[in-house]
Structure 1
Amino acid sequence: MDYRSLSNYPRDAVDRLLNVIHLFRDIRATSEWQYDVLLKRSRLVTVPAGQPLLHAGDVDQWVYFLLRGELQVHVGDEAIAQAERPLAVIRPGEVFGDLSMLLAEPRSATIIAAPAGLETQVLAVDCTLFGDLDDFTLLHLPTKLVFYRNMVHSLRWKLEVYRSKYPGHELANSHRRLKLYTGPKNSREELVALADQARALARILLDWNAEFGSGHLAAEEADMSDFLESILS
């Protein structure tokens, strides 16, 4: 794989590239300086066809956005993954790696560039900056609020897709039972509540994914791959 700092590219080209990513666009609208801080903690990764980007069991705090190409999601290690039909396919514009980051747990899947086609390009963001909710040295409160609002929105949308597909499942309403924050807006209290909510939503989504991956629901759908692609988009 080829890792490159964003500083290796013209700034206007980087801005155009990242303008399609909600997180970067929203942070830039909040503060150009905070946007620059995040750029310095991000890098472009080029993955050759058929090569792994992430391995099940990896532990890190990186979150990824697919910019070009196609990635395949497999349960298990690389050797097994390359011989199996992918559990899901990740398309350009999709975010992944967020569950592991939010829950501080090893990655549950192996991610491999599609074996055929062009090289895959990914934006990797070091999200350790968002982990300490009391440290505003580099990233300020409004920036961290933007990050966790984005995470909560993305996770809730994915869970709503699961719920609409399987309304009678025992997990269907789990995310709707989580208490929403009703306190002062744009406060540290809201930040803590959003972070807690994101982790709770991530846990529920992980439960859904584990059940699909284990095959418990596979018999109910002949083409589960198409459905899982939709929840990752």
Structure 2
Amino acid sequence: MESKPLGDYPRDAVDRLLNVIHLFRDIRATSEWQYDVLLKRSQLVSLQAGEQLLNAGDVDQWVYFLLRGELQVHVESAATGKIDAAERPLAVIRPGEVFGDLSMLLAEPRSATVVAAPASRDTQVLAVDCTLFGDLEDFSLLQLPTKLVFYRNMVHSLRWKLEVYRSKYPAHQLADSHRKLKLYTGPKNCREELLALADQARALARILLDWNAEFGSGELVDESSDMFDFLESMLS
């Protein structure tokens, strides 16, 4: 596995790459210098087939975007307490998908191990250190508008994943759980909205964990893989 700061790549190539990721595009539209702050906290990770990216039990604040290739999600065997790479993965992550957000939002150890698929010879992942988003009262580096963009994106992504589960299992007891969460209706673009969005994101993350515990996330459809078709030569 090889990790490089985004600063090691040509800036125009990085800008084109991140323009197809909602979070970065929205933050850049809000503030160019806030976008630069986030770039300094981001890395491009390259993996060969079978290489491990995340390990169950790890605790960190990184969120990931798969750009190229395919990743597999594995959990420890109840019998051996180890990962069996030969077993069918719990889930498959495809280009365009966000992952690692549940652990970040809930400040809990990662529940699964993520590896590059055996047939995926050149997997690329954008890794973002989201430590700066965790402290909702600290605006020394990331300002209120930037944190609002982050949590709006997290809420949207989580609700989309939960709606996919609901469409597949409409009679399940969890099907309407996320729709019962109270939406924020107060003043916009303020600290109050930020706190409400963060609470909502954590509640949605908890519901998604419950879904994943029963079905895994492998059936979730890739919503934006077509956006990444041109990445083959982007950073070469």
| Alignment TM-score, normalising by the size of structure 1 | 0.91
For the pair 1:101 / 2:104, whether they are aligned, the reply is yes
For the pair 1:198 / 2:201, whether they are aligned, the reply is yes
Deviation at residue 86 of structure 1 after TM alignment: 1.1
| Residue matched to 1:136 | 139
Partner of 2:46, secondary structure, is strand
Deviation at residue 21 of structure 1 after TM alignment: 0.5
The whole-number CA distance in structure 2 between the counterparts of 1:76 and 1:119 is 25
The whole-number CA distance in structure 2 between the counterparts of 1:166 and 1:9 is 44
| Residue matched to 1:48 | 48
The whole-number CA distance in structure 1 between the counterparts of 2:139 and 2:207 is 29
- Superposed, 1:2-41 pairs within 5 Å as 2-41=2-41
Partner of 1:80, secondary structure, is coil
Deviation by residue 1:142-187 (Cα, 9 ceiling, x = unmatched) = 0000000000000001101111111111111110110000110000
Deviation by residue 1:20-40 (Cα, 9 ceiling, x = unmatched) = 100000000000000000000
* Residues paired across the two proteins, number: 222
Write out the 4+ residue segments of structure 1 that deviate beyond 4 Å after TM superposition.
229-233
Partner of 2:140, secondary structure, is coil
- Superposed, 1:52-63 pairs within 5 Å as 52-63=52-63
Whichever residue aligns with residue 184 of structure 1, its letter is P
For the pair 1:70 / 2:73, whether they are aligned, the reply is no
Q: Unaligned regions of 5+ residues in structure 2, if any?
A: 226-236
| Residue matched to 1:117 | 120
Partner of 2:83, secondary structure, is helix
Deviation at residue 117 of structure 1 after TM alignment: 3.2
| Residue matched to 1:149 | 152
The whole-number CA distance in structure 2 between the counterparts of 1:228 and 1:5 is 30
- Superposed, 1:180-199 pairs within 5 Å as 180-199=183-202
The whole-number CA distance in structure 2 between the counterparts of 1:92 and 1:178 is 29
The whole-number CA distance in structure 2 between the counterparts of 1:117 and 1:149 is 32
Deviation at residue 229 of structure 1 after TM alignment: 4.8
Deviation at residue 92 of structure 1 after TM alignment: 1.0
The whole-number CA distance in structure 1 between the counterparts of 2:223 and 2:99 is 11
Distance 1:28 1:207, change over 3 A: same
The whole-number CA distance in structure 2 between the counterparts of 1:102 and 1:231 is 22
Of 78-87 and 11-20, more deviation after overlay is shown by: 78-87
Whichever residue aligns with residue 42 of structure 1, its letter is S
Distance 1:231 1:32, change over 3 A: closer
The whole-number CA distance in structure 1 between the counterparts of 2:139 and 2:129 is 16
Is 1:88–1:229's contact at 8 Å kept on the other side of the alignment?
no
Partner of 2:153, secondary structure, is helix
| Alignment TM-score, normalising by the size of structure 2 | 0.90
Which is bigger in relative contact order (C-alpha 8 A, separation at least 6)?
Answer: 2
Partner of 1:211, secondary structure, is helix
Q: Unaligned regions of 5+ residues in structure 1, if any?
A: 214-223
The whole-number CA distance in structure 1 between the counterparts of 2:84 and 2:152 is 33
